[in-house]
Amino acid sequence: MKTFIVDAMLGKLATWLRLAGCDTFYSTIIDDDELLRLAAEQNRTLLTSDAILAERAQNSDISVMLVRGTVTEEIASVFKEFKIVPEADPSKSRCTKCNGILTHIKNNEKERIRGLVPDQTYDHYNEFWLCGYCKSVFFQGSQWNNIEAYMEKIAQLMKELDA
């Protein structure tokens, strides 16, 4: 699967790429020169909404995609271009906060995340995903239906882009 580096203007795109399991570097604090250096060094495709940055990347032989449109259009066009399945599968997803690898925590290992989530969440759910880097904990709560519905919307828009 492709690896990406996303400019500071495309944070929502980075989140959805990570949910789809893509290794996606994103930072709001590094400048364009550093983005280009990291993209070249790590062989990442640069996703940017900045035409000047995209041209600089092309001139440096860095894989780049100029991303335009609404957030939903941006996501659909990137997913389509790189043949990314619009599906949030926790067994493949990356940490949406830091891009870290997630470890599946089943009911019998649940003690590992005690204190990292509210007691009510800990008591109500039996399956979690723990980021090995930032220690964020994820679970399929009420927001999960919204995530799945949005991915379906992305899939539909990808089909429309084909037409």
SS (H, E, C) the chain: CCCEEECHHHHHHHHHHHHCCCCEEECCCCCHHHHHHHHHHHCCEEEECCHHHHHHHHHCCCCEEECCCCHHHHHHHHHHHCCCCCCCCCCCCECCCCCCEEEEECHHHHHHHECCECHHHHHHCCCEEEECCCCCEECCCCHHHHHHHHHHHHHHHHHHHHC
- Average pLDDT over the chain, rounded to an integer: 95
Mean pLDDT of 17-25: 98
pLDDT band at 161 (very low <50, low <70, confident <90, very high): confident
Percent of the chain with pLDDT over 90: 93
pLDDT digits (tens, 9 = 90+) for 38-82: 999 999 999 999 999 999 999 999 999 999 999 999 999 999 999
Q: Is residue 43 part of a domain?
A: yes
pLDDT band with cut points at 50, 70 and 90 for residue 107: confident
Residue 97 lies in a domain: no
User: Are 44 and 57 contained in the same domain?
Assistant: yes
Together in a domain, 81 and 121: no
pLDDT for the residue numbered 127: 94
Same domain, 79 and 113: no
CATH of residue 51: 3.40.50
Region 26-43: mean pLDDT is 97
Q: Tell me the residue range of the domain where 112 lies.
A: 102-138
Answer yes or no: do 79 and 151 share one domain: yes
Shared domain check, 129 and 60? no
| pTM, rounded to two decimals | 0.94
23 plus 70 within the same structural domain: yes
Q: How many domains does the chain have?
A: 2
